[in-house]
Amino acid sequence: MEPRNGSPASDDLSPISLAPYEPRPLPAREPDAAELADLLRDAIAELPALPAEDPADRYGARPVTRAWFRHMKSHQTRRSYWRGLSLWLSYCGWHRVDPLNARLADVKDWIAGLGPTSPATYNARLAAVSAWYTELINNRVHDDNPARLVARNKRDHTESLTRALTYDELVALLGYVRARAGRLRSEAALRDRAILEIMSTTGVRSGAILHARIGPDGDLGIDQGHRILRYVNKGGHRKKADVLGQAELALDDYLSVRAEREQTPAAELSGWLFATGTGRPLTQRDLANLLHTAARGAGLDAPDDVVPHSLRHSVGFLAYEQGVALEDLSDLLGHESVATTLIYVRRTRRRQTTQMLADLTSGTTPPPAAPGTSRAPADKRHLRLVQDG
């Protein structure tokens, strides 16, 4: 059988050379410029299937790929694209496909072979590969994008499917972690409580928790006399979240116990803000397991549906039902546009409208005022509050 793309026959390849490539993961927290440059230099040099780099050619596939990753504004996007591109090039290396001569059928075969995955992950993998080819085309390294015609999974971008907790569910969840922290007084239990208290009152994404550092140049600070947590949002902008009430108390309790274990004053602690007892940073899986465990312990229905992003949606859902203006809620959640915030509260707005009409048709709400007359509403907002979720 003739080898593809001019590759040598399979008999000439050793098992070692055919071993699937496993990419090194990029760190959760964005390195500084010098560290990032060194990291990308080494990581991209290891990528399979691409032509060897010519030091005299600054526009080869590898140097262009390196510059592309280096200048991405969002480290979260960099990590996602790195994973997707690495998986594609691993496929190319294994199947002896020249990525600069790949066809639509190759990309379809690759994406189908990734196995069961969520629609969002499926689309993210394709987006990474398509964006890479676009970058190569823009730099005249290549002239085709074989991923552009692969169908994406259709998603409704006007409404989120993430589960949001009702007021009673959130109270039960926090009640469980508070009772557990009070009973055990262990560093892990106090840490878990602090995490959920902060996420339940600030609405920050999990990245703000997982990437937070503590120390002289860390992410905890004081602003106008209040404790704040600094973080980088999805768009790559620096933001601040206020840590108040039970969240601040829980954070102080956790740091106090941690300082005692490390035999260091709390003000002099350094490293990851939320870490294991060995100093290892928590992972997304750790955070997901924390939510699942707390949801089960609190007796919530379908606890596996409660994910870290559920707390962010719960903040939006509950704040809106308490009358917080969309503009203020958008600012709290760090959205660049109110249109994004609407995605979080669309189900609530629809439910409120339905409830208003149900009350009106059942006779429990006074009928609309006659034309030419006015009646001051009991609630200044257009829609009534729905407290039962």
* Catalytic site positions: 205, 234, 309, 312, 335, 344
CA 216/CA 245 separation, integer angstroms: 24
Nearby residues of 75 by Cβ (< 8 Å), 6 or more positions away: 26, 29, 30, 232, 236
**Would you say how long the chain is, in residues?**
389
Q: Which candidate, 162, 167, 159, places its Cα nearest to that of 319?
A: 167
Three-state secondary structure of the chain: CCCHHHCCCHHHCCHHHHCCCCCCCCCCCCCCHHHHHHHHHHHHHHCCCCCCCCCCCCCCHHHHHHHHHHCCCCHHHHHHHHHHHHHHHHHHHHHCCCHHHCCHHHHHHHHHCCCCCCHHHHHHHHHHHHHHHHHHHHCCCCCCCCCCCCCCCCCCCCCCCCCCCCHHHHHHHHHHHHHHHHHHCCHHHHHHHHHHHHHHHHCCCHHHHHCCEECCCCCEEEECCEEEEEEECCCCCEEEEECCCHHHHHHHHHHHHHHHHHCCCHHHCCEECCECCCCCECCHHHHHHHHHHHHHHCCCCCHHHCCHHHHHHHHHHHHHHCCCCHHHHHHHHCCCCHHHHHHHHHHHHHHHHHHHHHHHHHCCCCCCCCCCCCCCCCCCCCCCCCCCC
